Amino acid sequence: MLHRAPTLACIVLLGSLSGCASQAPASLATRPPATGCTTPPPACPAEARRMRIQGTVVVSGAVEPDGTISSVQVTQSSGNALLDDAGVEAVRSTACAPFNDPKTGKATRVPFSRPFTFSIDGPAQTLVAVQPSLPPATLAYAERIRQRVRPNIVVDEVPPANIFAVVKVLLGPDGSVLRTELEKSSGVRSYDAAVLKAIERSDPLPLPEPGQKGTRTVRLTFTPT
């Protein structure tokens, strides 16, 4: 049976709720944001679990043009150094694809922040969307791409919700798709192929603004949910 996957191509970062009652396995994957960023679940410190400490820490950082994470710091402390350190480590472990400025087509530095709530008896992984510090025009352009491509993604089976694919697309002056390249596989070949095919079906893609001269390279991130 064919399924049309409700895929997102927008720029979003996620915060998470981590249970201190029981530590989630290190291999457990969180649902990645559509930015092309994924963060391993923050490990609740054993000492914090033993002392039944809970709280929320907000950690900020920046995605550099090469996708690395820098400037990681606590912007709002939980009141406990153990929880603060766990949040900082989670952000430092975040992996991101570079962000492209829709106007210049060049990779750009993007600041962001993430809240981590450690609850004694709460669920191990509850995700809450948090908007990064991105220009409204960038978010609006991502939404236009999402609306264009989303209806054209057709898969034989519903893929796992915690995967994402990053595709680099070369656009012509009129928005025509000149070339697509899978920059980061979702790990599911059928889903990767469906995304690439959907982009071809969506040709031409919207441009950030009319009157573009020359070609433009954009990176798009897609998740099944």
pLDDT, tens digit, 9 for 90 and up, residues 73-96: 998 888 889 888 988 988 888 877
178/207 same-domain check = yes
Looking at the fold, whether 184 and 107 belong to one and the same domain comes out as no
| Residue 178's pLDDT band (cuts 50, 70, 90) | very high
Least confident of 3-12, 20-29, 113-122, 160-169: 20-29
Q: Could you tell me if 157 and 206 lie in one domain?
A: yes
- What percent helix, strand, coil does the chain show, rounded to 5? 20, 35, 45
Same domain, residue pair 104 and 154? no
In this structure, is residue 20 part of a structural domain?
A: no
Based on the domain organization, do 141 and 212 belong to the same domain? yes
Note whether residue 27 is domain-resident: no
- The answer on pLDDT for 137 being more than 90 is no
User: Residue 225: what pLDDT?
Assistant: 65
Same domain for 90 and 61, yes or no, is yes
Task: Evaluate whether residue 11 is within a structural domain.
Answer: no
What is the percent of the chain where pLDDT is above 90? 13
DSSP assignment string, 151-201: GG-EESSPPPTT--EEEEEEE-TTS-EEEEEEEE--S-HHHHHHHHHHHHH
Give the model's pLDDT for residue 57. Answer: 85
- Residue 4's pLDDT band (boundaries 50, 70, 90)? low
**Rounded to an integer, what distance in angstroms lies between the CA atom of residue 34 and that of residue 158?**
18
* Cα dist from 40 to 10, 26, 103, 153, 172, whole Å: 20, 8, 31, 27, 37
Of residues 70 and 37, the one with the higher pLDDT is 70
Question: What is the per-residue pLDDT for 12?
Answer: 27
Average pLDDT over residues 112-118: 81
Domain count, the chain: 2
Domain that holds residue 102: 37-118
97 and 161 both lie in a single domain: no
Which residues is 128 bridged to in the sheet? 15
Residues 70 and 147 in one domain: no
Classify residue 94: in a domain, yes or no: yes
Residue 19 inside a domain? The answer is no
Backbone angles phi, psi at 150, to 5 degrees: -50, -50
pLDDT for the residue numbered 29:
29
CATH number for 206: 3.30.1150.10
Burial of residue 31, with CB atoms counted within 10 A of its CB: 0-12 exposed, 13-18 middle, 19 or more buried: middle
What is the rounded distance in angstroms from the CA atom of residue 125 to the CA atom of residue 17? Answer: 6
Has residue 97 been placed in a domain? yes
* Residue 107 within any structural domain of the chain: yes
Exposed/middle/buried for residue 60 (C-beta within 10 Å: 0-12, 13-18, 19+): middle
- pLDDT of res. 132: 46
C-alpha dihedral, 136 to 90 to 36 to 56, nearest 10°:
-40
Tell whether omega for the bond before 204 is within 30 degrees of 0, i.e. cis. Answer: yes
CATH number where 50 lies: 3.30.2420.10
